[in-house]
Amino acid sequence: MRSVLAVWTILVLSGSMVLTQERQLEKSAQCMRMSRIRGKFKTLFAGSLGGTSFRIYVKVDLKNQTDANYIAITDELKAKYCEKKEMYIAFFDSKEHYELYNIPQPERPIIGTPRALYVINRVTGREVLEVYSIVNQAIKTREIKLE
């Protein structure tokens, strides 16, 4: 009787694990199918840094730092990582620029400021894309309207 119960328990647990894995694969495949828009960028980092938010740092060449390309990149990554509840995308000129950003504040130089920052929180509904420029050693912020 115990062996029948043990076999039954193993079968139920195995079936549950398979269903969970299938659902995760379906969700990932769904995210990838939604990603039809392509921006011009290179990913420098994608992952969580000890917190709950998912961060993506991307390199965008100067000639591609346009509102349209920023929107295309955010749309592509938003679709690719559609299961993430909270996500930040920081845009940089180069890997060296990104490395300046990694210097802890207050030691971080003003030139370490990202060119743009996108934030989405699917729980609260917050979504914002801001572009930054440095003018006279001050950071100027401009918001790009998202539709």
Q: What is 38-144's CATH topology?
A: Diaminopimelate Epimerase; Chain A, domain 1 (3.10.310)
- Amino acid present at 47: G
Q: Which helix (H) or strand (E) holds 128?
A: strand 126-135
The pLDDT tens digits for 89-128 are 999 999 999 999 988 878 888 888 999 999 999 999 999 9
For the whole prediction, is pTM greater than 0.85?
no
CA 51 from centroid of its chain's CA atoms: 13
The pLDDT tens digits for 32-71 are 555 556 789 999 999 997 777 899 999 999 999 999 999 9
Handedness of CA 69, 42, 38, 29 (dihedral sign): negative
Q: Which residue has the higher pLDDT, 12 or 54?
A: 54
- Amino acid present at 75: D
- Which two tokens mark 146? 């998202």
Tell whether the model's pLDDT for residue 12 goes beyond 50.
no
pLDDT band of 142, cuts 50, 70, 90: very high
- Amino acid present at 129: L
Report pLDDT for 38: 76
